[in-house]
Structure 1
Amino acid sequence: MQIHQLKIKSRKPKRRIGRGGKKGTYSGRGVKGQKSRSGANINPIFEGGRSTLIEHLPKLRGFKSIHPQNQIIGLDKINKIFDEGAVVSPQALREKRIIRKIKVPVKILGNGEITKKITFEKCLVSKSAKEKIEKAGGIVKN
């Protein structure tokens, strides 16, 4: 026997559900109720009359600035950590784990004293810090 010699058994016609003509069933909608009606779509936030989750949460006031705040470091900390003739840059500060992110600007403030000749690169420097650095023989490059 080969495939073309097989007898085709009678096929049951496909039921076109929900197309009228007494074909029966509820077309997957169940029986009665709001969801069974045509054009029925309920707001996904609606919870049957009780207060929604969104109504329970507090309103968030204000906004978050997209401009990052500078990472602030004092001269006294740099004086302790870096040696004479060192170059202080965001990469060097990240390697010593003084700052968290390289992309966020670094600002050097004039807290404390500096006694070593240190070069500062790619850092924002306050006026008082710049005076102290230059007095100690250091250089500020930007």
Structure 2
Amino acid sequence: MKLNSLKPAVGSTKNRKRIARGQGSGHGGTATRGHKGAKSRSGYSRKFGFEGGQMPIQRRLPKFGFKNPFRVEYKAINLEVLQNLADKHGYTTIDVDTLINAGLISRKDLVKILAKGTLTAKLEVKAHAFSKKAIEAIEAANGTVVKL
């Protein structure tokens, strides 16, 4: 085998279609674009959502819904997660930085502590928001709650 004798496997390559290079090529004349109409012309680009003049779906359907621009979205962290962190790493204070280092939230997230699970460790928990039951559970375990 030599470099000058290398060839691709039989059937693995095709010749490209040479469009609009005369009648002898078999793709002359209309250059595979059909006859007349906008699609046969150069510079054609269909508008997004265009349905051939039929009333487009985004205009047939009514507007609905509402997006509240003032919505505040929190990342939910449950008490069982806090207990797990206290057991594994021995934390006594859990704040936003602790949760970021544990990979549970990203730096831009707001945190809300929810009451799923049980908490036995005495923790000082610092977060942006708490549910009422979560506050009760933390204080029942002799912990403290700090709102940021």
Q: Per the shorter chain, which TM-score range? A: 0.5 to 0.7
| Alpha-carbon distance change, 80 to 104 in structure 1, aligned in 2, over 3 angstroms | same
Q: Does 1:106 align with 2:111?
A: yes
**TM-score, with normalisation over the residues of structure 2?**
0.52
User: How many correspondences in the alignment?
Assistant: 94
User: 1:62: Cα distance to partner?
Assistant: 4.7
Other structure's SS at 1:102 match: coil
Hey, what does 2:76 align to over in structure 1? Answer: 72
Using the aligned pairs only, state the percent identity: 27
RMSD of aligned Cα (Å) = 2.9
User: In structure 2, do the counterparts of structure 1 residues 119 and 62 end up closer, same or farther at CA, with 3 Å as the change threshold?
Assistant: same
Q: Give the greater-gyration-radius structure (CA).
A: 1
Structure 2: which 5+ runs fail to align? Answer: 1-42
Matches within 5 A, 1:21-32: none
Deviation at 1:103, TM superposition (A): 2.5
Q: Deviations over 1:39-96 (max 9, x none)?
A: xxxxxxxx76x85224369649656554341100110111011255521111110000
1:133 maps onto 2:138 in alignment: yes
